[in-house]
Structure 1
Amino acid sequence: MNLIKKSAASVLVAATVTLGAGTAHADPVVPNTGTPALAIPGRHEVDKQQALENMLNELGVGWANGGAAGTAIGALMGLGVGCISMFPGSLAGCIIGTPIGAITGAIVGMGQGNPRAAQAIQEYINTP
């Protein structure tokens, strides 16, 4: 494969990942004010569904405040590093580096955009 085809394929992969990440949108979930659960003294009850909704809301805020930009920047950085680091097989490096950079950028961008997102994820995981 010649250099022009490799470059065109690399740019196509990067553009697809960047555009796909930039078009995602999450609306906040409206809280459900259903019947409250029976409270047992000395025991902290948290509903798994409530913890999930809280986590999704916090992740949505993090995405809106920096997740999309972090994903785009991470994808481009992963593309550059992947293409340069695996020069003889640069197409493989670009294909591997772009999604890894996008995932890393999304995690960092959402964490910086909403610091409460990590706490909400831990609360959801630890809810029985």
Structure 2
Amino acid sequence: MNTLTKLTASTLIAGAVLAGTATAHADPAPPPPPPTKQQALDAMLAELGVAWAQGGAAGTAIGAVVGLGIGCVSMFPGSLAGCIIGAPTGATIGGLIGMGNGNPKVQQSIETYLNTP
């Protein structure tokens, strides 16, 4: 190969490399399509199942015991009424806290379900 051919080939390759890098770009990925109401419901129920298994049941049991104790003690003269009100209230609050701590994604899945048209 003579010198002129080598020089021409090198120049063409260098020019192609520079031109290729100057014009290359990538478009951002398109956003995923919004979920349907059924897909959002399925996702929410799956997250709720995980949350219940990872802390909801324990939170409910602990909340019921604490609510029962506080209700029975705080309304001493009418302690039966306090026990009846305290146990389900404590169970509800304990279940919600246990599920929220057991799976942090459960709140987002509920909001997604409620906001899906």
Q: How does 1:76-91 map to 2 (within 5 A)?
A: 76-91=65-80
Give unmatched runs, 5+ long, in structure 2. Answer: 1-29
Q: TM-score, normalised by structure 1?
A: 0.66
Match of 2:100 in 1: 111
Structure number with bigger Rg: 2
- 1:93 paired to 2:78: no
Supply the RMSD in Å over aligned alpha carbons: 1.6
Q: TM-score, normalised by structure 2?
A: 0.72
Q: What's the CA shift for 1:43?
A: 9.1
Identity in percent: 66
Equivalent residues, number: 88
Match of 1:24 in 2: none
Q: What's the CA shift for 1:72?
A: 0.1
Instruction: Give the Cα–Cα distance (whole angstroms) in 2 for the partners of residues 46 and 67 of structure 1.
Output: 26
- 1:46 paired to 2:35: yes
Match of 2:22 in 1: none
Instruction: Give the Cα–Cα distance (whole angstroms) in 1 for the partners of residues 56 and 100 of structure 2.
Output: 8
Match of 1:120 in 2: 109
Specify the SS of the correspondent of 2:52.
Answer: helix
Moved over 4 A (4+): 41-44
